[in-house]
Amino acid sequence: MKTIFDNAIREELIQRIRLVDKDAKPEWGKMNVYQMVKHNSFWNGWVTGIDKHIYKQEILGKIFGKYALNKMIKDEKPFDKNIPTSDQFKIKEFNGNIDAEKNKWIELVNEYRHFDNPNFIHDFFGRMTVEQIGILAYKHTDHHLRQFGV
Protein backbone atom coordinates (compact mmCIF):
# COMPACT_ATOMS: atom_id res chain seq x y z
CA MET A 1 0.00 0.00 0.00
CA LYS A 2 1.39 3.42 -0.91
CA THR A 3 2.05 5.74 2.00
CA ILE A 4 3.32 9.30 2.32
CA PHE A 5 5.79 7.99 4.89
CA ASP A 6 7.76 6.17 2.15
CA ASN A 7 10.64 8.40 0.95
CA ALA A 8 10.32 7.39 -2.72
CA ILE A 9 6.55 7.92 -2.74
CA ARG A 10 6.91 11.29 -1.02
CA GLU A 11 9.50 12.40 -3.59
CA GLU A 12 7.23 11.26 -6.44
CA LEU A 13 4.39 13.36 -4.99
CA ILE A 14 6.68 16.38 -4.66
CA GLN A 15 7.73 16.06 -8.31
CA ARG A 16 4.08 15.92 -9.31
CA ILE A 17 3.25 18.99 -7.19
CA ARG A 18 6.00 20.88 -9.01
CA LEU A 19 4.25 20.01 -12.31
CA VAL A 20 0.95 21.65 -11.31
CA ASP A 21 0.39 24.42 -13.86
CA LYS A 22 -1.19 27.72 -12.82
CA ASP A 23 -3.50 27.53 -15.86
CA ALA A 24 -4.62 23.93 -15.26
CA LYS A 25 -8.35 23.20 -15.33
CA PRO A 26 -9.94 20.52 -13.14
CA GLU A 27 -11.02 17.25 -14.69
CA TRP A 28 -13.73 17.12 -12.00
CA GLY A 29 -14.88 19.09 -8.97
CA LYS A 30 -15.50 22.73 -8.17
CA MET A 31 -12.04 23.93 -7.10
CA ASN A 32 -9.81 25.92 -9.38
CA VAL A 33 -6.08 25.21 -9.34
CA TYR A 34 -5.28 27.87 -6.71
CA GLN A 35 -8.02 26.60 -4.41
CA MET A 36 -6.78 23.02 -4.80
CA VAL A 37 -3.18 23.92 -3.97
CA LYS A 38 -4.18 26.06 -0.98
CA HIS A 39 -6.62 23.36 0.18
CA ASN A 40 -3.76 20.86 0.22
CA SER A 41 -1.45 23.22 2.12
CA PHE A 42 -4.15 23.77 4.71
CA TRP A 43 -5.11 20.06 4.92
CA ASN A 44 -1.51 18.85 5.33
CA GLY A 45 -0.81 21.54 7.93
CA TRP A 46 -3.81 20.19 9.83
CA VAL A 47 -2.72 16.54 9.63
CA THR A 48 0.93 17.16 10.49
CA GLY A 49 0.03 19.53 13.32
CA ILE A 50 2.28 22.26 11.90
CA ASP A 51 -0.71 24.61 11.80
CA LYS A 52 -2.28 24.40 15.24
CA HIS A 53 -5.84 23.11 15.12
CA ILE A 54 -8.44 21.92 17.55
CA TYR A 55 -9.16 18.31 16.76
CA LYS A 56 -12.63 16.88 17.16
CA GLN A 57 -14.77 14.41 15.29
CA GLU A 58 -18.17 15.25 13.83
CA ILE A 59 -21.22 13.34 15.07
CA LEU A 60 -21.78 11.57 11.71
CA GLY A 61 -18.14 10.57 11.74
CA LYS A 62 -18.57 8.89 15.10
CA ILE A 63 -21.26 6.73 13.52
CA PHE A 64 -19.83 6.08 10.03
CA GLY A 65 -16.20 7.27 10.18
CA LYS A 66 -14.34 4.01 10.79
CA TYR A 67 -16.38 2.17 8.16
CA ALA A 68 -15.75 4.93 5.59
CA LEU A 69 -12.03 5.09 6.39
CA ASN A 70 -11.57 1.35 6.03
CA LYS A 71 -13.43 1.41 2.71
CA MET A 72 -11.28 4.29 1.40
CA ILE A 73 -7.88 2.88 2.35
CA LYS A 74 -8.39 -0.88 2.06
CA ASP A 75 -6.67 -1.14 -1.34
CA GLU A 76 -4.69 0.75 -3.97
CA LYS A 77 -7.81 2.10 -5.69
CA PRO A 78 -7.70 5.93 -5.94
CA PHE A 79 -10.38 8.00 -4.28
CA ASP A 80 -13.60 8.44 -6.23
CA LYS A 81 -14.08 11.70 -8.09
CA ASN A 82 -16.22 14.35 -6.41
CA ILE A 83 -15.91 13.11 -2.85
CA PRO A 84 -17.13 15.90 -0.56
CA THR A 85 -14.78 18.37 1.11
CA SER A 86 -15.38 19.34 4.73
CA ASP A 87 -16.49 22.96 5.03
CA GLN A 88 -13.41 23.87 7.06
CA PHE A 89 -11.20 22.93 4.09
CA LYS A 90 -13.12 24.75 1.37
CA ILE A 91 -11.03 27.64 0.11
CA LYS A 92 -13.16 30.73 -0.49
CA GLU A 93 -10.68 32.92 -2.40
CA PHE A 94 -10.28 32.18 -6.10
CA ASN A 95 -6.75 33.38 -6.72
CA GLY A 96 -3.45 34.07 -5.03
CA ASN A 97 0.22 33.18 -5.26
CA ILE A 98 0.15 29.62 -6.58
CA ASP A 99 3.95 29.23 -6.50
CA ALA A 100 4.08 30.21 -2.81
CA GLU A 101 1.28 27.76 -2.00
CA LYS A 102 2.97 24.98 -3.98
CA ASN A 103 6.18 25.59 -2.03
CA LYS A 104 4.26 25.49 1.25
CA TRP A 105 2.54 22.25 0.15
CA ILE A 106 5.93 20.70 -0.69
CA GLU A 107 7.34 21.74 2.70
CA LEU A 108 4.36 20.15 4.42
CA VAL A 109 4.71 16.92 2.43
CA ASN A 110 8.34 16.83 3.58
CA GLU A 111 7.16 17.18 7.18
CA TYR A 112 5.85 13.61 7.01
CA ARG A 113 9.50 12.48 7.30
CA HIS A 114 9.27 13.46 10.97
CA PHE A 115 5.56 12.91 11.56
CA ASP A 116 4.66 13.18 15.23
CA ASN A 117 1.12 14.33 15.85
CA PRO A 118 -0.38 12.08 18.53
CA ASN A 119 -3.30 14.50 19.02
CA PHE A 120 -4.55 14.15 15.44
CA ILE A 121 -8.23 13.30 15.17
CA HIS A 122 -9.72 13.41 11.69
CA ASP A 123 -12.94 15.44 11.58
CA PHE A 124 -14.84 12.50 10.05
CA PHE A 125 -12.71 9.37 10.54
CA GLY A 126 -11.71 10.07 14.15
CA ARG A 127 -8.51 8.70 15.67
CA MET A 128 -6.31 6.96 13.14
CA THR A 129 -3.18 4.82 13.28
CA VAL A 130 0.01 6.24 11.79
CA GLU A 131 -0.31 3.65 9.02
CA GLN A 132 -3.84 4.84 8.20
CA ILE A 133 -2.70 8.48 8.20
CA GLY A 134 0.13 7.67 5.77
CA ILE A 135 -2.18 5.93 3.32
CA LEU A 136 -4.88 8.61 3.60
CA ALA A 137 -2.36 11.44 3.11
CA TYR A 138 -0.96 9.72 0.01
CA LYS A 139 -4.40 9.08 -1.47
CA HIS A 140 -5.60 12.62 -0.69
CA THR A 141 -2.57 14.14 -2.42
CA ASP A 142 -2.81 11.78 -5.38
CA HIS A 143 -6.54 12.52 -5.71
CA HIS A 144 -6.01 16.25 -6.08
CA LEU A 145 -3.03 15.91 -8.41
CA ARG A 146 -5.07 13.61 -10.67
CA GLN A 147 -7.92 16.12 -10.46
CA PHE A 148 -5.65 18.56 -12.31
CA GLY A 149 -4.07 16.06 -14.68
CA VAL A 150 -0.78 15.57 -12.85
pLDDT of residue 72: 94
pLDDT of residue 88: 82
Say yes or no to pLDDT of 11 above 90.
Answer: yes
C-alpha separations of 87 from 39, 43, 124, 149 in Å: 11, 12, 12, 24
Q: How many residues does the chain have?
A: 150
Asked if 20 and 145 touch (Cβ cutoff 8 Å), the reply is: yes
Determine the distance from the C-alpha atom of residue 127 to the mean position of all C-alpha atoms in its chain, rounded to a whole number.
16
Phi, psi angle pair for 72, to nearest 5°: -75, -30
pLDDT of residue 127: 96
Say yes or no to pLDDT of 53 above 80.
Answer: no
State mean pLDDT over 34-43.
Answer: 97
pLDDT of residue 84: 84
**Measured between alpha carbons, how far apart are the two ends of the chain, in Å?**
20
Give the start-to-end residue ranges of the domains of the chain. 7-20+32-147
Say yes or no to pLDDT of 54 above 80.
Answer: no
Percent of residues, the chain, with pLDDT higher than 90: 85
Per-residue pLDDT reduced to its tens digit, 68-117? 999 999 999 999 998 888 888 889 999 999 999 999 999 999 999 999 99
